[in-house]
Amino acid sequence: MTDLAYAPWRVLPESWQYWLGIQLPNSYHLLVDFLLYFVFVHIYKLQPGLEKLRSSQYWQSIIECTSVIEDFARHSRYWTNSLKFNLFRYSQYFVLVIVFVFATVQADALSVGYVLFSLLYLYAGHEFFRRRDSLWQWSRYYNYFVLMARLAYQVPILEGSTLPEAWQNIVGFRKRGEATDWVVFDYMIFLLLHAQRWVRTLIPV
């Protein structure tokens, strides 16, 4: 039996090999994958003790929702309650300003959505306290759509272009390795929006 002189998938162009993940893997990618696996395996082991952990007074004092607001008419509030309340009141402005700055780093059609969200939400003001998470979820959906669209554009079928007037650059699609590929800002917006989602849970409805 003759040994294969070359792996069968080497007949594919390099761009397709990279897209399908059948090139020789980068060692840093494997490290990150292993770290992710390590995290999930430890959560799997953690689960039995979670209930005991959450009944602890320390968990309740910092992580859980603060007490119902009416209780403070009868009981003194701690500085941790004040911290949670102020975080609940002002964090949205911080997040919106940061999202606006990140969106203006790269001027393209996809970033216009973030700019619009920031400006509209800053204008809405107290409407956010009344409608809680129902407005923010639309910004998270849009952010996820942008992430998926930018990733799907990496398919080798779609040609890239470095010309500023090309439709790809106007819309905001860039191939990996292009000088203006700043997709990291989209992921930072993702983390900020989900951190804001957690902040919304600090004060009970």
Partner 1 sequence: MDELTLWNAAPAKYEITLFNYAPRFAPTLTGKFHRAEFKEGAKWYLSNLFNVSFYQVTLIVLVIAVLVRYNVFAVGYLLLLGVCVTIPRHVFETRVFQFAVSLILMLGIMFQYALNLGVPTSKTCNNIFDKSAY
CB neighbour burial string for 32-65, b if at least 16 within 10 angstroms, e if fewer:
eeeeeeeeeeeeeeeeeeeeeeeeeeeeeeeeee
Count other Cβ atoms within 10 Å, centred on residue 29.
10
Two structure tokens written together for 201: 């849970």
- 109 forms part of the interface with partner 1 (CB under 8 A): no
Choose one: 27-35, 93-101, 102-110, 116-124; the region binding partner 1 (CB under 8 A).
27-35
Choose one: 32-40, 90-98, 112-120, 164-172; the region binding partner 1 (CB under 8 A).
32-40
- 56 forms part of the interface with partner 1 (CB under 8 A): yes
- 162 forms part of the interface with partner 1 (CB under 8 A): no
Residues 58-97 that bind partner 1 (CB under 8 A): 58-63, 69-70, 72-73, 75-80, 82, 85
Which position among 13, 42, 157, 164 is part of the footprint of partner 1 (CB under 8 A)? 42
Tokens 């790269």 sit on residue: 106
Reference 106, options 114, 118, 116, 96; nearest CA is 114
Which position among 10, 125, 167, 180 is part of the footprint of partner 1 (CB under 8 A)? 10
